[in-house]
Amino acid sequence: MLENLKNKTVILASQSARRQELLKMIDVQFKVEYIPDLNEDYPKELDITEIPLFIAKQKQEAYKHLWSVEKNIVITADTIVSLKNKIIGKPTDKNEARKILKQLSDKTHLVVSGVSIKSNNKTSEFYSTTFVSFKPLSKKIIDYYVENFNTLDKAGAYGIQDWIGFTSINYIIGSYYNVMGLPIDKVFDNLKNF
């Protein structure tokens, strides 16, 4: 469908298996290049909705050797989970995962993804917001999830496409795929311009 990309090389600068899966679903050929441990600091005065895009743009600086080359297009992204205007990060261990899920229980939180797409002569930058409402999560539900699934690599300690997403989410407002880590409908629209 995106014929304009036929002679281009799309590079997804993310190690997230979920982002790779989403980009495949819109029939884009791409390769993955990932530089670990990039700076994810941001100015304290930013609004929650501005933070992921700020980080995505900052990440692009590290990929300049790729997007400054003709025909290359680099995609960087960052996703945060926020509850009551406070950022909920990735848990460092199972105990913290349980604590985070207890916080999210019976509440609606916000997921924000920021995306930067860059070539040698074009830039697209955008973000997407989704509200996610969790049912009350019993200790049994939380323990089962944390013991049987990998929560440590996930902001907010959950994957919407995992067991807990099927059993325990009431509703969402926004893009489902944004919660998975990439607002793929906006990526599709913005790739048309490259």
Q: Residue 119 or 175: which CB sits closer to a second copy?
A: 175
Stretch that binds a second copy, among 48-56, 91-99, 102-110, 184-192 (CB under 8 A): 184-192
Q: Residue 44 or 166: which CB sits closer to a second copy?
A: 166
46 binds a second copy (CB under 8 A): no
C-alpha angle 103-106-107 in degrees, rounded to nearest 5: 70
Alpha-carbon distance 120 to 117, whole Å? 11
Q: Which of 177, 181, 190, 194 binds a second copy (CB under 8 A)?
A: 177
Stretch that binds a second copy, among 43-51, 54-62, 87-95, 169-177 (CB under 8 A): 169-177
- To a second copy, the closest distance from the beta carbon of 94 in angstroms equals 18
124 binds a second copy (CB under 8 A): no
Alpha-carbon distance 194 to 191, whole Å? 6
The helix or strand, by DSSP H or E, that contains position 179, with its residue range, turns out to be helix 176-180
146-185 residues labelled b (16+ CB within 10 A) or e (exposed): beebebeebbbbbbbebebbeebbeebebbebbbbbbbbe
Written as six digits, the tokens of 12 are 């997804």
- To a second copy, the closest distance from the beta carbon of 188 in angstroms equals 4
Please provide residue 34's backbone torsions phi and psi, each rounded to the nearest 5 degrees. Answer: -135, 125
Stretch that binds a second copy, among 25-33, 50-58, 74-82, 95-103 (CB under 8 A): 25-33
27 binds a second copy (CB under 8 A): yes
78 is catalytic: yes
Site residues (vs a second copy, CB under 8 A): 1, 22, 25-27, 130, 135, 140-141, 144, 160, 163, 166-177, 184-185, 188-189
